[in-house]
Amino acid sequence: MPPPRPAESRNDAELIRANRGFYELLWAAAKLIGPERFNTWPLLRELAAAAPRRLEVAPGLRPRLPLDGTCFVDLSHAALSQLHASGAKAVHGMIGALPCADASFELICALDILEHVADDDSALAELARVATPGASVLLSVPLHPEAWTAFDDFVGHCRRYEPAQIIAKLARHGFTIEHSAVYGMQPKSSRLLDLGQWFLTHRRERAMWWYNRVFMPLGLHFQKPLQWREGLGDTQGVDEVLLRCRYRPNPRPTPPPSH
């Protein structure tokens, strides 16, 4: 049997159904974990403190920016309910149609989201629309299409990115990668991933119990410190990267003179 390949052909409606099916159930059984518990916090704390106008897209119950003062946009009603209960400003929406005004935010965080949408160019265009010139934009993406597994498909991924592809795509929308960090909490064992997928498919409640009460706390405990490096850096053998980008609007082409 040939290996599974990225599902580039799936449309937004299909991807939304797949993501809702996985994440709505995940967040319904989960508790909110504050941003200070994640290894992203030492890298993002000062950025957040210097940017009073902040947006985080699709955080679920794992926000990486401070709850106080950040606008959160998510599709999951289960996640929105807990974010509201924790005092956060959270609104229903998706990355392709953000319910936000133009040039509203100095710091934008959209982790683990571009690979989930059918039209990632429209998603990046929306991030550019709501960013102020000079804004910091934090993204994370999985790399290397040849590393695609059935688990990517199961969790609603649409693609993995070639390193040169993500650099060029970001540049077309005015984003320059200034720093990156090797990122991600996915287990390296394919057998463990296969076992997890089987339980999520056939024993969903039990799998969610183990994930939220055992594997997630263990994952938090054993997180490795993240370190910024210049540009994209060496991506050989890297499953996922955290990108710190600078947004500068691309100059509009000068219209031809009228005669």
Model's pTM, two decimal places? 0.82
Asked if 128 contacts 169 with a C-beta cutoff of 8 angstroms, the reply is no
Q: What is the pLDDT of residues 143-171, one digit of tens each?
A: 999 998 877 877 778 899 999 999 999 99
Q: pLDDT band at residue 1, thresholds of 50, 70 and 90?
A: very low
Looking at residue 4, its pLDDT comes to 46
Q: What is the pLDDT of residues 174-223, one digit of tens each?
A: 999 999 999 864 555 556 555 555 555 556 666 666 566 666 667 777 78
Q: Which domains does the chain have, with CATH numbers?
A: 12-186+225-247 (3.40.50.150)
* Pairing mode of beta strands 131-142, 240-247: antiparallel
> Residue 86: CB partners within 8 Å, gap ≥ 6?
32, 67
CB proximity list for 29: less than 8 A, separation 6 or greater: 205, 208, 209, 212
Structure-token match 């599974």, residue found: 4
Task: Kindly state the tokens that stand for 94.
Answer: 């998706």
Instruction: Look at the block and give the residue holding tokens 């936000």.
Output: 100
Structure tokens given for 235? 């991506």
For the cut 90, the answer to whether the pLDDT of residue 173 exceeds it is: yes
